Structure 1
Amino acid sequence: MQLAEITTGAVETFLRGKRSGENTKKSLLEMVILEQQGLSSEIEKEMALADLFGEIIEKNYLQFRKAEKLTPSLPKDRDNLKIKIQEDFGLGNADLEAWSALYYRYMAPLSTNVEDLAAAAGVVPQQFRRRINSGLAFVVDHLRRMERQAMDKRPQVNPNLPIPDYSHLIAVQSYVDKLNTAINQPDGAFMVSLEGLGGIGKTALARAFVSAPLTEEKWKRILWVSARQEYLSNFGTIQSLSGNAATLDDVTARLADQLGVSHLASKNIPDRLEGLQAALNMEPTLVVVDNLESVEEYEQLIPALAKLNGQTRFLITTRKTLRQFPFVFCIPLGELNNRDAFELVSSETHRLGKPGIVNQETFDQLYELVGGIPLAIKLVAAQVMIRPLEQIISGFRQAKAGMDNLYRYLYWEAWQLLAENTRHLMLSFLASDPEGEDLEFIHLMSGLGDQFYPALQELHQFSLLEISGDVHKPRYRLHRLTITFLQTDILKVWGGEDASQP
């Protein structure tokens, strides 16, 4: 996180939350000083940060008491607490008063409100509050210095990795835990795929995972090959990307270059793969292939990469499932729930300079249309800066005002490749319960007879199907955004276009 994000407000929000037990936003958990401790879960980071605050505040408070020739000890009971506050505020030392006020307000085992603390100190509550603010400023200064030192100690940025396109990620810890188990553990899988609809956050999750301290410590080399051909900007325009891998030849040539054996690019594929295997076996390596579905011969690429495993493990991001390969450990990504999606849109509008512009009631209307696809939520946050809510909702429903490009980016390729029966099955979900239906109902509703299961399998293959419930009573549904997309007229427009010209 940026040093400017370490503020008195953020510190007090955390301290107040720990004191009251409330579940408040904890932006400070993104600090590098916590990352470098190898902590993975939010609970571990909270505990470590609480300990750090306790150490900073108690240490400075006792040091200032000692400097004033007061006993450097903490109170044992409420009466002793009042005596010590009187001592602290009776010497005219503003710094001691600041550390004292902060300690007794947020750190002392005996919880006491500002009014009672002010009375014990012999000052008005406003004066005591000012001392708390001064103490918070001291803590911020300490934290910023520690964070700057931690940043300076971070290893050099890996030139193979793309620049992160996020400030922080929301609701990803369960996926990070799965990746740690699957990739960073000795008995993990040698090939893992992050699978899901376009825009659901596969690339961002992979980027965050490879930069995590546990991953950087485990793997001596981390390589990244991107097959992404285009991206959707936050303002709804599709931007083309050049120079990315589009074929098996491209992917293996990129790997050779990052391994420092670029001469292998001139060899045929079998010889090149043999050379890559020798180079990869020299030290533990993690290889990321991003946007696999854009590689023309991806069905040949996966077995080819599998032969290179040795000391190497592979992390793949793809819109198309790799379940057909028995050696691939698949991790499907789901959409954000309403609460997490609202946190994301709030974070984005704050980043764009208009915090609070979207309230929960307003967002509830949008969530019914777009669901929890992070790419769509970021587009909403950017659009709400310049358009009224009604126009944004209309844009989603009528595929206008940049939303047509969103649909094209997410669904064009899949729609062109789906069999006619699969398209028919997709459209039949329009009459289903948004929370999902059982298999028997969907089968009957589709009218596809014996062709139902192949169509259902193809929807699953393209990550267009969400399955919830358990193995005894699974429920099937499409993403909310997919339903909204199917309700627009854009399919009529696409029907009149040359399928080869997206």
Structure 2
Amino acid sequence: MAGELVSFAVNKLWDLLSHEYTLFQGVEDQVAELKSDLNLLKSFLKDADAKKHTSALVRYCVEEIKDIVYDAEDVLETFVQKEKLGTTSGIRKHIKRLTCIVPDRREIALYIGHVSKRITRVIRDMQSFGVQQMIVDDYMHPLRNREREIRRTFPKDNESGFVALEENVKKLVGYFVEEDNYQVVSITGMGGLGKTTLARQVFNHDMVTKKFDKLAWVSVSQDFTLKNVWQNILGDLKPKEEETKEEEKKILEMTEYTLQRELYQLLEMSKSLIVLDDIWKKEDWEVIKPIFPPTKGWKLLLTSRNESIVAPTNTKYFNFKPECLKTDDSWKLFQRIAFPINDASEFEIDEEMEKLGEKMIEHCGGLPLAIKVLGGMLAEKYTSHDWRRLSENIGSHLVGGRTNFNDDNNNSCNYVLSLSFEELPSYLKHCFLYLAHFPEDYEIKVENLSYYWAAEEIFQPRHYDGEIIRDVGDVYIEELVRRNMVISERDVKTSRFETCHLHDMMREVCLLKAKEENFLQITSNPPSTANFQSTVTSRRLVYQYPTTLHVEKDINNPKLRSLVVVTLGSWNMAGSSFTRLELLRVLDLVQAKLKGGKLASCIGKLIHLRYLSLEYAEVTHIPYSLGNLKLLIYLNLHISLSSRSNFVPNVLMGMQELRYLALPSLIERKTKLELSNLVKLETLENFSTKNSSLEDLRGMVRLRTLTIELIEETSLETLAASIGGLKYLEKLEIDDLGSKMRTKEAGIVFDFVHLKRLRLELYMPRLSKEQHFPSHLTTLYLQHCRLEEDPMPILEKLLQLKELELGHKSFSGKKMVCSSCGFPQLQKLSISGLKEWEDWKVEESSMPLLLTLNIFDCRKLKQLPDEHLPSHLTAISLKKCGLEDPIPTLERLVHLKELSLSELCGRIMVCTGGGFPQLHKLDLSELDGLEEWIVEDGSMPRLHTLEIRRCLKLKKLPNGFPQLQNLHLTEVEEWEEGMIVKQGSMPLLHTLYIWHCPKLPGEQHFPSHLTTVFLLGMYVEEDPMRILEKLLHLKNVSLFQSFSGKRMVCSGGGFPQLQKLSIREIEWEEWIVEQGSMPLLHTLYIGVCPNLKELPDGLRFIYSLKNLIVSKRWKKRLSEGGEDYYKVQHIPSVEFDD
């Protein structure tokens, strides 16, 4: 295999010598001799590759060839680039690390002669070791086009048709939907058994998604960080409408304690399913599990190779162990992958190939992953000769060297996975090895990956010549997906592979092969168990999750070609001198904090650089020397918004190889960037007329993605003329921030036949007719258009449209009509900020696939379409509308699961019997006029979460809600004492959250079966413990600003089941805990309570207490030797919090 990788490098060197031949004038003879030597060298490499497994001497020769070729490429390409920059004449500077000189032609001639001598010597050595010269034949066996097309077709259902999967899915779904005895279910077994596939099928199952109102999937992996796992869970569980960059940043900045508290509260109040995929150790589960409350609303699915992750003594735990596939099922799965055909008559399976296939799958040991990879590999082989060769060689291409097949299934699986790598074409080997850069379970962005590959010139010329980089990347990813070596699915909106990742066993193969080939060095922070350290000659370096990186001190390899940082947050770049790294091709400094906010001017010396990313980096000043980087194809300057103004010099016009350019969102107004020369651009983001001219866009006819900010005064004609010729656009965003562009014409004619995503925030009172609108649009967002005519008659004819958002001031008319059979593919419709809209008509069969409807701030809309609102709607949010009583229309939607109503009119709300049959979650917010709410028997039979916020006149809750588990009340001012429940009502209610309400319910009106109570901002004068301690099932209590009295007492025998108590910002002065109170308490948190004189003496009697967290003002008294130490000396963990 190394021989193939070296052959790839040899070909690159050959191409350099051929394409830049004119620059080697005066040394033509030496170049011709070197090319001849390279040809001869290639003829030996195939046999050398075959013999390197058995001969350390041959393996040494192959490594030496690699060094020769890479060193030669570095020197000769440096000469070429400096020649183009006009800087080589008279240079006599040694590149000491390469033991050569890069100066004038005489010295280049000497160097080329030196390379030829090294090649001659290594060929002589290989011959003495028995390596034979072979004719290199890259010709592919001829094959009928029809047969190849059949064999290369993807199966329609990548996982859903998995052999022997259906029965296991059915069993597991039962544990989550029908069986309440099990709260934690694990799927365990060896790697490659299909645990994640099985968990994914359960996670996406219709019955499961109906059962739970919140779902979270987190890949834990071997090298997880607790904070990252909790952040991912919280991100998944947060309501979708809160998914903003601000919310993401807020989650990223949370401490572990805050994350734990947020998740604990969220899981207590919701019916959630959490999947923790790929847990390795029992200790990992122990540190993750404190977020899970003792309540029953949540359920957990784990996957692991370790059967002892969760203690089997837990009666709520069940372990499911899938079995390896039997022989018949193994063959069915293999057939489905190796011969993916719809009609068996289309392709005849050769009898010999069938026998060979049956023989080979024996080595897979019934492991689905190994069978899928073997099938994907053989799907690319079209003759019985190929199959016979693989069958004979399958034992010699092993992970970790030669051995027999008497090992366990896991080793056999590794053999097959390793062989799948050996059978890749050389360029795909490079692509696959590049995935070793990324941590386990990391979702890799295919767009970035494509540009990495292009920057390192991995793309084959026949694929790359004139093609879009992202398109070529998609082709390569598709090849790896087809072979089941990479996991990815096409995005519904873009039809592209947006992200990908590796199965953990394929990643092990990837890491091992990368180590064998000295492909890259991985440095993890904290150090990784999967981390490997290569020699200093490794030409690629990746830092995973660094906190600080000092380039001068930490990196001492001058031959480095790639430096990549993979991170989830910001990190400090202590030194930014790149003077010793002049051979870099790839430099990714995502989220770096640069000292002083300045990128060092020495960046201009990296003349080989093709890829430079400062995405979200804290940089305010880009140096003029950036203009020296003439080979850049990817430049991402979408830097952090920490500065209100950034300096970017006008040096980009010389980077004529650029394919991707992302500019800062904010650039100094005086800066003017000339971009007209960048005609090869495929992506241009944050283009602003404040800093650039629209005229510059005319020649960028290769653009696929374009985002524009119109700031300077601009005419519609200028805009149309500038972008009208960009016929290959797939994504276009135009945001008018002050161009004063006005027109009464029939809108902009968007003659972009490939356009899929369009966002327009500009004045445009009329839309183009449907025949001038891009017919392939899948996503459309309109804002500030002030359309005078109903846009629906035009938009509903866009047959591929899946998401439509009519934003603030997008329509200034009064009536909209959605016609019969219109919007045939629409799944999500959002309408907001339409001040004049008052009438909406929906005809029968309109929007037949609509699932989500959001209407916000449309004050004049008085009613919803009464008859033909799409029946398949599952989520509706209506906020700040003039609707008086939407309930009669909404309760007929039999598939509706989530409903949010806010700031609507109406005094009485009636939910009739049989209405809302599938509703799981109901949110009523700021219904200022609502005084009475009636729920008839049989209405909302499945409702399990109810939130009522700021309904100031509502005096009591209705009866009913037999399935309600979570109740959230905020600022309900006029409630009566018995508002919460009557005896026997809401029999399943376990979580109660009360915020800013004037008084507590009476003792007889507190549900006796509650397990969790949160009281926030109550400031009640009466001691709440008197009522709460009588709730016999209560396990978790949180009091925040909820008591204005002076004295609080926890009586003996009270709180018999309480496990966690949190008290913050209470004005109390005295707290008494009697002996026998809270006998099961294990966690106590006492936040800032400035008037509390001392902690209760009774804490010393709570022997179950394991964790105590108190403010730092108690540290002296509670530390060993302190006056109150005796109260807490029995507690294993005492922490002092800010």
Relative to the length of structure 2, the TM-score reads 0.20
Which has a greater percent of strand?
Answer: 2
Structure of greater Rg: 2
TM-score by length of 1: 0.43
